[in-house]
Amino acid sequence: MLQKIEMLLLNQDTTFQFEKCKEELEKRNFAANVIPLKNEGYCSLEDSCQFIKVYKFVLTTSIFNTQHLRFTTQNGYKTYEFNNKNIEKIFENTSLQNEVGEFLKENNVKDRNRKTKRLKVLEYLDQFEPNLFFNL
């Protein structure tokens, strides 16, 4: 949603304060997607596509703050560590096995697009139609 607003308002001569609107939307979006984990940290939706959802787990202790990325399949509840090996396993024996495997040979799942800040693997997966994804 923010990207659409940015595109509409970028380089426009308007009294509308784009930065304030963007900041407020980010705060609301963050608050709506954050799940507290007792007094030990929180979990938030980092990014998603039609195949997987990536969550950021932030654990706070008296000594350290640690962040972990984990993912689920769209209709699944089990979380997996977000790494190349686990992404390849999820797409193993599916119609996208070769495409995902080739992409991961040259890219790390945690790489981000510098312009959009999205995870590159999710941008790549967005190119495929969900109905083309099936088990072999």
For the stretch 9-40, pLDDT in tens is 555 555 555 556 555 555 555 445 666 666 77
Laid out side by side, the sheet with 65-73 consists of 34-36, 41-48, 52-60, 65-73, 80-81
pLDDT, mean over the chain: 78
Per residue in 54-88, pLDDT (tens digit) is 998 887 776 777 788 999 988 788 889 999 999 99
User: Which residues, in sequence order, are bridge partners of residue 13?
Assistant: none
Q: Where are the domains of the chain?
A: 1-9+17-34, 38-132
Residue of 54, 95, 88, 53 whose CA lies nearest to 74: 53
pLDDT tens column, 102-129: 999 999 999 999 998 999 999 999 998 8
- pLDDT value at residue 13: 52
Q: How far apart (Å, rounded) are the C-alpha atoms in residues 125 and 69?
A: 18
What is the rounded distance in angstroms from the CA atom of residue 90 to the CA atom of residue 73? Answer: 8
Rounded Cα distance, 98 and 5, in Å: 36
Residues of the chain above pLDDT 90, percent: 35
